[in-house]
Amino acid sequence: MMTKKLIEENKLDGSTIDGSGKDGRITKEDVLNVLESGLTPASDTAAASQGSIGMSKEGRLEERVPMSRLRAKVAERLLQASQSTAMLTTFNEVDMKPIMDIRKQYKEKFKETHGVGVGFMSFFTKAVTEALRQFPDVNAMIDDDHIVSFDYADIGIAVSGPKGLMVPVLRNAEQMSLAEIEAEIRRLALKSRDGKLTIQEMTGGTFTITNGGVFGSMLSTPIINPPQSAILGMHTIQDRPVAIDGEIVIRPMMYLALSYDHRLLDGKEAVSFLIAIKDQLESPEKLLLNL
């Protein structure tokens, strides 16, 4: 009864809360976690309805709308990242033709076999997990005066939802196949679209990938998602002239950006990590054969 009362008093939608109790029942702790996170439909709706319209000194209309609790939380974390880390960004570019050729050749068979399409994000996730295996410090984080390392790769995938940017996490991504990654990304993206992501699904990542390319971004410097130590930024694919074996050819190229915490990672390690990702993507047979 206490749980039901909490849901009713705070005008929550019980269908959006994942229960951790027996048979998926919602517990009091589940409700309190949602309230503490600020990711509630009621909080965002209420914030949006409290706007006010006034006149500027020049007599023009202005509207003031309070930030939703979600947007305020995102702003707080971004500010924390800029103030508490020694953030640097290194760049490289990757030739996407090998992956595009594989997708073109096998996309129909892949979907027929696995029930999901094969996109770029699964290749990038696999490349990241392999690079993290080679450079485990990138998968670590600073906790006061200690360095915490992990023998698993929980990869946060930044997705755009109706309430703003969300970063659901793929647990143990290093153990997933391309098809498993695609299926999990699809599941989380649909939950984000419907506003049903839980706190548990958005916490605990060890590394993050963000894809500004879906919006047309050519180059950017992504901000670290604390307490993580690095984040990979993908960008739009553009045909550009490049030199291969002494000849100028047109290739579909993508700029990559790796922002990292210089307190934990040296430039050499960060650059080598990004090159390892580039190498895996430009030779996707290595990803498929676990080389």
Indicate left, alpha or beta for 12 from its phi (over 0: left) and psi (-120 to 50: alpha): beta
* Catalytic residue list: 262, 266
Sign of CA dihedral 204, 279, 290, 190: positive
CB 125 within 8 A of CB 242: no
CA atoms within 13 Å, Cβ hemisphere of 14: 12
Please report, to the nearest 10 degrees, the dihedral formed by the alpha carbons of residues 156, 157, 160, 164 taken in order.
10
Sign of CA dihedral 71, 164, 259, 122: positive
Look at residues 233, 276, 238 and name the one whose alpha carbon lies nearest to residue 258.
233
Strands 141-143 and 146-148 turn out to be: antiparallel
What is the end-to-end Cα distance of the chain in Å, rounded? 55
Tokens of 140: 């670590």
Q: State whether residue 141 is helix, strand or coil.
A: strand
CB 112 within 8 A of CB 291: no
Which residues are CB-contacts of 104 (< 8 A; sequence separation ≥ 6)?
Answer: none
Q: Residue 20 burial (CB < 10 Å; 0-12/13-18/19+)?
A: middle
